[in-house]
Amino acid sequence: MVGLAGLPVLSCQLYGQTANEQINYLSISDPINVQKKAYQLTWSSHPDASLYKQEYLAVGDRFPKYKSMVMIDFVLTAATVDQAVSAKIHELETLKTTNPTVNFTILSNKATCEKMIDCLIGQTAPDDRNSVVERTVFRFKSVKAKTGQQGMLLFAVSTRAYGKDVDPFLIQLKTDKPILVKAVAQFSLPEIRLPKS
């Protein structure tokens, strides 16, 4: 089990996976349905003893130029939600020193002891066709796996736009911003069952 110093958090950086490993480490039912869209497990990783990562894409989407993605991380840790969110904020503030487009809002749900981060980040290219903007809503919850281990569950939904679609995406976001936040907040989080050692 890791503490705060070693707590991995979901990344808001602009990249997609290239590997095609699809092991359901967390025993989550597939597909995952968000906003009436079905997402299938597309990539997973278990990079160390404490961290499990799974990423899901809708039919027709591909890495690295996906339009929307669901991410689920589970890390074995005694860290609190506040500590996990603070670590994520530090990561975003550091990123902001080299990328001024980084923007984020923190949301709290006292009833469930959860927190969310609504993050927007852009990457402008000399050729506008290669520009990209990504909006990700992260949800942090301290949970105990069905197999008994205490940890932090990070559930996130990411949406992207590329090239000529960036400006319309940002304009639409002005009115649609609360919709994804509500969908992530109301999503019924899956029970986590870790593989046997």
Q: pLDDT tens, 56-112?
A: 999 899 988 899 999 999 999 999 999 999 999 999 999 999 999 999 999 999 999
> What are the pLDDT digits (tens) for 166-189?
999 999 999 999 999 999 999 999
Q: Is 109 helix (H, G, I), strand (E, B) or coil?
A: strand
For residue 174, the model assigns a pLDDT of 93
Determine contact, residues 96/121, Cβ cutoff 8 Å: no
Q: Provide the pLDDT confidence category of residue 18 given band limits of 50, 70 and 90.
A: low
**With 50 as the cut, is the pLDDT of residue 5 above it?**
no
Question: Where are any strands of DSSP class E within 23-149?
Answer: 32-34, 37-48, 51-58, 68-76, 103-109, 114-123, 132-144
CB atoms within 10 A of CB 114: 19
Query: What does the pLDDT read at residue 197?
Result: 64
pTM of the predicted protein model: 0.89
Enter the tokens of residue 143: 């949970």
Q: What's the whole-number mean pLDDT along residues 25-49?
A: 94
> Residue 25: which residues within 8 A CB-CB, separation 6 or more?
44, 46, 52, 54, 194, 195
Confidence class for position 17, pLDDT limits 50, 70, 90: low
Residue 39 near residue 32, CB atoms below 8 Å:
yes
